[in-house]
Structure 1
C-alpha cells in the first residue's frame, strides 16, 4: 500500500509539473504580444518595454522564463489581474471555496439520492420499478444543465417567488470572510443575525444545488444500478445462496458492499464533471465561484487571470482524483492485495 501511495504522489507531482508547463505556454498561445498579454501594458516606449521584458525574464531563454514562473507559483505569486489589480492568488482563494462548497453539496445529495435508487432498480432488474427509475435517470441525464437552471429560475423565482434569483446570500448581510465557506463563516462570526443569514444562504443555495444534483444523481444512479446487477449475477453470490443464506444476508454481506467498492473511484471522476457543470451554473445564478470569475476573465481578456484560473481548477481536479483513488485502495481489500503483489 505504501508503494502505491508513493507512486500516486509521484504521478501527482509529475502531472502538476505538466500542468504548469501548459499554463506557462498559454501566454504564448494567446493572440498578440506575450509580454503585453502578461502585463497589460500597451502604450509604452521601447526602453520601457525592454525594462519590463527583463523584469519578467523575457530577455532570456524559455527555460529561464519557465523557472521564473514556477518559482512564482511555489511562493504564491500567481500574477495580478488586469481588471481588479488584486493578486490572483488572493482572488482564487476567495472564489475557490464557493465552487467547492456548491459542488460538495451537490455531490453529497447525488450520492444520497442516486445510490439508494440504484440499489432499488438493481434489485428490481427488468421490472416496472427498474424501467421507471431508468427512464427518469435518462431524462435527468439528458437535460442540459443551463436549460434546467433557467427553468428553475423561471418557476421558483420569477413565477412563484419562493427562492432568490441569484447570488450566494442577501446583500442585507455582510459576513466577514474567514474560510470562504459561507455557513462556516456565518457560524464563526459574532453577528447577531446568524440564523437569518444562514436562512438566506440556504435559500440561495437551493436552486444551484438542485440543478447540479438532478444531473449528477442520474449518473450516480446508473453507475450503482449497473454495478449491483453485475455483482448479483456473479458466481460468489450464487455460492452464497447455495450455503443456505437468506436474501437479506446475501444482499447485506455480499451484494451492497461489493457493489459500492467499484464505483467509489468513479465518484472522484464525477466530481470533475460536476465542477465543470458548476462553472456553468455559477454564471447563470451569479454564484461567486471560480467558474463565474473565470468566465468574467475570459470576457475581459484578462490573460493572467485565465492562465491562473485554468491551472487552479486543473490542479483541484487532479488532487481530488488521486485522493479518491487512494481512498478506494484503502477501502477495497482486493485492490490493496493487487498493490502489494505489484510492489
Structure 2
C-alpha cells in the first residue's frame, strides 16, 4: 500500500508538471499582447514596451518559465496582469458560484440517473428501460447552453419560477444564491445524468446476471434486498468512478453555462483571462483544474477500498 501511494503521488506530481509546461507555452503562442490590451488602443509603443518590461514579458520565454517555476516553488502562482492581485485571491473570490453550481448539478444528475439506471437494469428490455435509454441518449446529445436557454425562457421568463441570470446582490443570502443556481444546475445536471445513467445501468446488468444473485434469490431473500444490498454494492465501483469524474468534468465544463446565466464564477473568469491574455491567471486556473482531476481520481481509488474489501493495491 505504501509503495502504491508513493508511486501514485509521484505520478500526480509529474502530471501536474507536464500540464504546467504545456499551459505555460501554449498560452504564449496565442496572438495578442497583454500590454496593448491592458493599455488600450490609444497607448503609445513606448508605454506598451515599458509595461512589458515591468511585467517581465520582454524576457525570452524560457527565462519567463524558469522565473515562473521559481515562484511556484515558493507557493506563488503569480499576480494577475488585469486585476493586479495574486491569482489565488482572484480565483478564491470567484470560487463560490462554481463550487455550488458543481455540487448542485452533480446532486441533480445522481438523483435522476442512479434510481433510473438501477430500475432500468432490473426491468431490462421493458418499456421503462427502453424509454430511459432513449432519454439518456437525447440528454447526452443536447448542448448545455441550448438547454439553459430553454430553461431561461420557460421556467424563468414565462413562468417566473426562478431568476434567469446573475448571482444576486453582494449581500444576498445563501438561499437567494441557490435560487439563482437552480436553472444552470438543471442544465448541467441533465446532460451529466445521461452518462451516469448509462454506466449505472450497464454495471447493474453485469452484476444481476451473476451466480450469487441467483443464489440469493433461491434463498428467499426479497428482491429489494437482492438488488440494493447484493447487486448494487458489487456494481458500485464503476458507478463511483463515473460520478467522481463527472464532478471534475462539471467544474471544468461550467464555462459556457456560467456565461449563459451571467454567473461570476471561475468559468467566466477564465474566459475573461483568455480574452485579455492574462497569462498568470490562465496558468493558475488550468493548473488548479488539472490538480482537481488528479485529486478526484486519487480519492476514487481510495474509495474503492471502502466499497469492496477485495480490492488490493
With the shorter chain as reference, the TM-score category is 0.7 to 0.9
Give ranges in structure 1 of 5+ residues lacking alignment.
176-196
Give 1:120 shift.
Answer: 0.8
C-alpha offsets along residues 213-268 of structure 1, whole Å, 9 cap, x if unaligned?
11111221111111101111123323444556553443344211011223212222
Instruction: Using structure 2 for the length normalisation, give the TM-score.
Output: 0.86
Q: Secondary structure at the match of 2:45?
A: coil
1:166-210 CA distances to partner (integer Å, 9 max, x unpaired)? 1122x2x526xxxxxxxxxxxxxxxxxxxxx23322211210111
Query: Superposition pairs for residues 38-187 of structure 1, below 5 Å?
Result: 43-44=45-46, 52=54, 58=59, 62=62, 65-169=64-168, 171=169, 173-174=170-171
- TM (norm. structure 1) is 0.79
1:2, distance to aligned residue in structure 2 (A): 3.1
**SS of alignment partner, residue 254 of structure 2:** helix
**How far off is 1:114 after superposition?**
1.1
2:21 is aligned to 21
Q: 1:298 matched to which residue of 2?
A: 274
Given the superposition, is the C-alpha separation of residues 38 and 148 from structure 1 closer, same or farther in structure 2, using an over 3 Å criterion? closer
| RMSD across aligned positions (CA) | 3.0
Distance in structure 1 (CA, Å) of the matches to 2:274 and 2:199: 35
- The separation in 2 between residues aligned to 1:50 and 1:141, in whole angstroms, is 45
| Structure 1 residues 42 and 227, CA gap change in structure 2 (3 angstroms) | farther
Q: Which residue of 1 aligns with 2:181?
A: 205
CA–CA distance in structure 1, aligned partners of residues 157 and 221 of structure 2: 56
Count how many residue pairs are aligned between Structure 1 and Structure 2. Answer: 310
CA contact (8 A) 1:36 1:42 kept: no
What SS does the corresponding residue of 1:335 show, helix, strand or coil? coil
The unaligned stretches of length 5 or more in structure 2 are none
Distance 2:208 2:19 in 1: 41
